[in-house]
Amino acid sequence: MEVVEAMAPYWHQVPWNAHSAHAGGASADQAVSRSRASIAELIGATPAELIFTSGATEANNIAILGLAAAGRRALPERNRILTSTIEHKCVLEAARYLGGCGFRHEMVPVDADGIIDTDRLEAMLSPDVLLVAVMAANNEVGTIQPIKEIVQMTHEVGALCHVDAAQAVGRIAFDVLDLDCDTASLSAHKMYGPNGVGALYISASTPIRPEPLFFGGGQEQGLRPGTLPVALIVGFGRAAELAQDNIAHAPRLADLADEFLSCLARRGVTFYLNGHREKRLPGSLNFRVAGVEAETVIGQLGNSLHLSTGSACQSGELQGSYVLRALGLGDQDVAASFRVCFGREHTLEDARRAAELLADAFQPCETAAGRVVQQRGETHGGVYIG
């Protein structure tokens, strides 16, 4: 509610273009500046290091494609792009595109818990690597990556490191100065802000900056032209101001997830957790129940309980989650997997009720899983290095 209230005046009372020279424009520009400062403070950056975007997808594309363009000019000997196998599709697809433009995209494997194999990454790093792109926390299984270690390894060979921090910022502590990353993407709606706005952090100390991907009036330091959505940015700033309270809720969210799993166990449901037990986003769960078909169960629940089988960005894809496959799961396990996320508004009673509803739904839906999920090698154009 606080976010909506903060945004409201900028839809009606102050509907000005922040780039206009008149008094209304100056008022809108001041609101944008305040929000930029609030978001920067949340991640330990300076306001000048933040570029507003339409979301993390755009921020990831500007970082990866823009750094590749800059690197082609400044560091032509570096032509390799490394990502993990479980990155968000926008990262994998941007890297895949570069694979057809003279770069080589290679993917670093993860272990059964979804944690990047840092030994393998270290072996793959060399002076011809331009960029390593990794997510701070996975959007499907919630696994938190050892970002500080990865950044340090990357910098030791002179490469750049981009962090997709959309899932992490506002949910767990994330300090760009401590992590020393070159760029990082943020998304407002992942921290209870509005949809349609995000940001790209570009370190003032990074050796090269992304080149622009498109052109216009030169807004946002020439990297993201176009009129700024003032109301959305104000909502983003207010969400950032409230985010420390969200982070303080982390232990409670972890308790909700534990209670949910405990209730399932008490109902006799045997489940297996996908992802790391401890190194995961608080309140985030991905688990499988042998002998059920998750899509059937979710369909039976209707509006009584909102679950998913994977990322919203790949819903409806018959091959199933490439993230779960990267963890080593086969057809039946992928088809039997559920994704659950608890938020700050949920209570212990909500967790118990959700477990009861899910346990009840399992009984009429126990059937062989994986019938509609076809095995498919998912590489997104990269070279899998096992």
Give the span between the Cα atoms of 24 and 8, in whole angstroms: 16
Give the span between the Cα atoms of 230 and 182, in whole angstroms: 27
Which residue's structure tokens are 């002998």?
291
Q: Which of 90, 101, 161, 313 is an active site residue?
A: 313
Neighbours of 175 (CB within 10 A): 13
Give the span between the Cα atoms of 252 and 23, in whole angstroms: 45
Bridge-partner residues for 201, per DSSP? 50, 184
Give the span between the Cα atoms of 115 and 112, in whole angstroms: 8
Q: Is 313 marked active-site?
A: yes
Give the span between the Cα atoms of 359 and 364, in whole angstroms: 10
Note the Cα 131 to chain centre separation in Å. 18
Give the span between the Cα atoms of 343 and 284, in whole angstroms: 9
52: Cβ contacts below 8 Å, ≥ 6 apart: 32, 36, 197, 198, 199, 220, 224, 228, 233, 236
Q: Where are the alpha helices (DSSP H) in the chain?
A: 2-7, 9-12, 23-43, 56-74, 89-99, 118-124, 147-156, 176-179, 230-248, 250-266, 294-301, 322-326, 331-335, 348-362
Give residue 368's identity as a one-letter amino acid code. Answer: A
Give the span between the Cα atoms of 30 and 24, in whole angstroms: 10
346: Cβ contacts below 8 Å, ≥ 6 apart: 253, 256, 283
Bridge-partner residues for 162, per DSSP? 133, 183
Per the CB < 8 A criterion, the answer to whether 185 and 166 are in contact is yes
Catalytic residues, by residue number, are 313
